[in-house]
Structure 1
Amino acid sequence: MREIAYAKINLALHVRSRREDGYHELETLFAFVDAGDVLTARVADTDKLQQHGEFADQLGTPFGNLVTKALGVLPRSRGLDIQLEKSLPVAAGLGGGSADAGAVFRIVRESFGLPDDWRTRAAKLGADVPACVESRTCIGRGTGTELEKLAGDSLAGVHVLLVNPRVALTTGPVFAAWDGKDRGRLPTGSAREIASAGRNDLAEPAIELCPVIAEVLGALEGTAPLLTRMSGSGATCFALFESADECTAATETIAARHGEWWQMTGTLR
């Protein structure tokens, strides 16, 4: 069995308030790129995980990985031996660990079926995990776990360039640096309309903590995309393009000027 852990991006992310439990009320437009980490699994007597790839050494021990945690919350008659090819940077605003967990849920669903309360189990692993299980464009509310489908999505197939300056930026400090100001609700309409009129309220605090993000955004804006924005709490930024040629040209431009930055391309699912 082979599953791609699709990279998550936030086409818009509106932070509305701080909650008493330490979390934040937010409204976000989730979207997913048809590229990411790759999980290969086979049925085994016991659960096993081996980690490979460019960013595998940043994951620590397999026991703390969200793949292992996802396996631990899903009842099955047999174990799964999983190979994780880690191609997404860690602490990058792409939901990498959540995407990996989402891929595990899909593998288990295909092989054994999921329990009726799988959404609750997914949410306990992380706010992005429920959205990552289906990995389709949707709206997230609350902490991001209350999902709403979008009708007539107009962004599927749009080309995406992801760029990360190879700087890890953990979520907690970015949310802590948010100024607490409610700048308004998520717009309504199609995915394209919401993305165009939306914003990322974490961009400013993330740039304060990691100034190179502004440089990444500026470089992407210079490639004349449909839209460029920081994803999640950073530091990855993305640009959207109508054509593959435009996306390829932007990729080559960024690589020539900033060869040290990480890049990945794909299309929205």
Structure 2
Amino acid sequence: MSLSQTAYAKINLALHVRRRRADGYHELETLFAFVDAGDELTARPSPQDRLHVTGEFAGTLDDPFGNIVAKALSALPHGQGWDVTLDKRLPVAAGLGGGSADAGAVFRMVRDAHGLPDDWHQRAARLGADVPACVESVACIGRGTGTELEPVANDLAGAPVLLVNPRIPLPTGPVFKGWDGVDRGPMPQGNLRTIAREGRNDLEAPALALVPQIGDVLDALADSGAWLARMSGSGATCFALYDTARQRDAAKAAMPAAWWTLAGSLR
């Protein structure tokens, strides 16, 4: 028996930071969406859990055995053990929820093989704020720290999307620390397109202060025919949404070769 799952790249179509909480976390309102591509995971039965990391970004993981994939395996009953190969195709510390998406893929593999325990949402949230959304990997609204999920009308399924990263890692912590603490108001209501158009990313300014090259990416995407270009999460990856796949593919071809790019569609 062999199991396989794609760890779909997560993007934040909007990310509103409302306040800093007493527990040190930030109160968020975010619109999660997922791209139809990402890391790839395969799993086979094994006498004990094993994890092998391959792919372009395998070397950027400091400790593959402390990887969130290993933690996800430990968090769920899945038989005697699994031998998991993680093909790391998404950049690390990039605002794409790569590790959370990997964990979400593990949850789906366990669900397919054994079913998930009733408290799977709590187990996922303990691994990271983005993990519960990444388990289902469908567009949704996240509140609280991002773990309180609500459905949303997805009128952008299949929309062409381009992801671009200047190949500069940007850890989440310093970006949140640089947020100016100003509540700029709630996320708008409506379907995906409305919230995306009228929303914002409150972490864009502190991320730009740390990695000014994000501005170059946003400028390039804004000039590429996209109807929306924005930074995802805490950066440094930015995304652009297009009316046609031809526009997206032409934009991808025009990006500097030194940048990482991924062309896909929203799920």
TM-score for both structures, normalised by structure 2: 0.98
Q: What is the CA-CA distance between 1:49 and the residue it aligns to? A: 0.5
The 3-state SS of whatever aligns with 2:78 is coil
Match of 2:58 in 1: 56
| Aligned residue number for residue 83 of structure 1 | 85
SS, match of residue 82 in structure 1: strand
**What value does the CA root-mean-square deviation take over the aligned residues?**
0.7
Instruction: Give the letter for the 1:259 counterpart.
Output: A
Unaligned runs of 5+ in 2: none
- Runs of 5+ unmatched residues, structure 1: none
1:6-17 alignment runs, 5 A limit: 6-17=8-19
Equivalent residue number for residue 138 of structure 2: 136
| TM superposition outliers: structure 1 runs of 4+ over 3 Å | none
Q: Is 1:248 paired with 2:210?
A: no
Q: Deviations over 1:218-256 (max 9, x none)?
A: 0000101011000000000000112111111000111xx
The whole-number CA distance in structure 1 between the counterparts of 2:67 and 2:262 is 22
Give distance in 2, aligned partners of 1:157 and 1:103.
Answer: 21
Alignment partner, residue 213 of structure 2:
212
Letter of the aligned partner of 1:102 in structure 2? G
In structure 2, distance between residues paired with 1:201 and 1:252: 29
Deviations 1:142-164 (A, max 9, x none): 0000000113x110000110000
Partner of 1:236: 237
Deviation at 1:180, TM superposition (A): 0.2
In the alignment, does 2:23 pair up with 1:21?
Answer: yes
- Tell me how far apart the structure 1 counterparts of residues 37 and 191 of structure 2 sit (CA, whole Å): 23
Deviations 1:164-206 (A, max 9, x none): 0000000000000000000000000001000000000000010
Bigger Cα displacement from structure 2, 179-188 vs 73-82: 73-82
Instruction: Render the CA deviation track for 1:26-52: whole Å, top value 9, x for unaligned.
Output: 000000000000001112221110000
TM-score by length of structure 1 reads: 0.97
**In structure 2, distance between residues paired with 1:116 and 1:43:** 23
CA shift for structure 1 position 62: 2.3
The secondary structure found in structure 1 opposite 2:100 is: helix
Superposed counterparts of 1:1-269, under 5 Å: 1-151=3-153, 153-254=154-255, 258-269=256-267
Q: Distance in 2 between matches of 1:35 and 1:185?
A: 30
Q: Distance in 1 between matches of 2:8 and 2:229?
A: 19
SS of match in other structure, 1:156: coil
Q: How many residues align?
A: 265
Q: Secondary structure of 1:229's match?
A: strand
- Cα distance in 2 for partners of 1:223, 1:62 equals 37
**Residue type of the partner of 1:115?**
P
Query: Whole-Å Cα distance in 1 between the matches of residues 225 and 167 of structure 2?
Result: 23
